[in-house]
Amino acid sequence: MTATGVVWDPVYLEHVTDEGHPDHPRRLQPLYQLLQDPLVNCRFTTIVPPAATDEEILRVHSPSYLNQVKATATRAASALSADTLTCDRSFTVAALAAGGTIEAVRRVVAGSLSHALVLARPPGHHAERSRAMGYCIFNNVAIGSMAARTAMGLARVMVVDWDLHHGNGTQHMFERDPSVFFFSSHQSPHYPGTGHFTDTGQGPGEGTTMNIPLKRGCGNGEFVAIYQRLLAPVARAFKPQLILVSAGFDIHAADPLGGMKVTPAGFAGLTRLILDIARQTCAGRVVFCLEGGYHPDALADSALAMIDELTGRTSTDVDAMAASADMARLNTVVTRCVHTHRRFWKELDDQFPN
């Protein structure tokens, strides 16, 4: 058994947008060239993506929206929203992105793989139940989470989102569902304007949404320290049976849409920290899914750093990385989050900065 699976396929380049659009096929081309290197792809199992079925998509999206997306297959170029462009292959490719996520989840839950990385497009975390937005067509992580819950029998799933932008679609789909914990760190103020500290879930799901809005300029140390101090204790208390990660590479220092300072080493550190949390809570079962990341070379370098960490080629010292954090910036965020969430999670009481 190869412990790590990677979903990647040239079909994901067939979702074609305008030449100047950030989610253009070119953003994956340098990464896919790296993945073809025998010295790289011998270290993981390639997962060939099946298409998600209508039934699987309809677990999170409305029938009218599914039909709207299907209708794009009759037009060479169209748009589902002002920023979500399509071609006649977009429905097929989006169904394969969702299906690749489900297949990765299925193999990890079944134990044939320890963990997986889904390098598909279009991304998904902005897609709402009945509308596209933010380049996203189907909400891949939400679809994978619901497959785990309804088709694979898991009682609790955690979704972690480190994309530059808040995953509004994922939050809204699960904010009333206590079986899915949604944790998001994101630049604020920034698109799409959601994801406030005070958004903690609704009704029976209150307490299972945790948002960490961050000012621009956070780097490796701040991200890893925030995840150590806020995500780790809550994850241990929630006890997920699977973790899915919306892995956005637009927090990279070179990304044209962002203002963060994460490097490939930082993505390796975040990966190691999530792997450690998964080992403590859910037998190591974790699936990372590509979201944003619009500097092609930065995306390729960072994804390769994640693959190195997943396959054991590297093992990042996350404590040393966290020790480099700007403590004033870190303590402001931790204090605000703990004050908001301590009524739900007593485990956070130990995280007050000294």
Residues designated catalytic: 126
Residues in Cβ contact with 107 at an 8 Å cutoff, skipping those fewer than 6 apart: 5, 47, 113, 116
Short-list 335, 342, 348, CA closest to 233: 348
* DSSP-assigned beta bridge partners for residue 187: 214
Short-list 242, 248, 297, 320, CA closest to 274: 242
Contact in structure between 256 and 77 (CB atoms under 8 Å): no
- Phi, psi of 144, deg, nearest 5: -65, -40
Contact in structure between 69 and 137 (CB atoms under 8 Å): yes
Contact in structure between 50 and 59 (CB atoms under 8 Å): no
**SS (HEC) of 111-135:** CCCCEEEECCCCCCCCCCCCCCECC
Q: Cα separation of 283 and 48, whole Å? A: 24
Q: What is the dihedral of CA 97, 286, 156, 102, to 10 degrees?
A: 20
CA angle 110, 114, 115 (to 5 degrees): 105
Q: Cα separation of 269 and 105, whole Å? A: 22
Q: Cα separation of 163 and 291, whole Å? A: 7
Tokens of 319: 């404590």
Q: Cα separation of 241 and 192, whole Å? A: 30
Give yes or no for a cis peptide into 178 (omega within 30° of 0): no
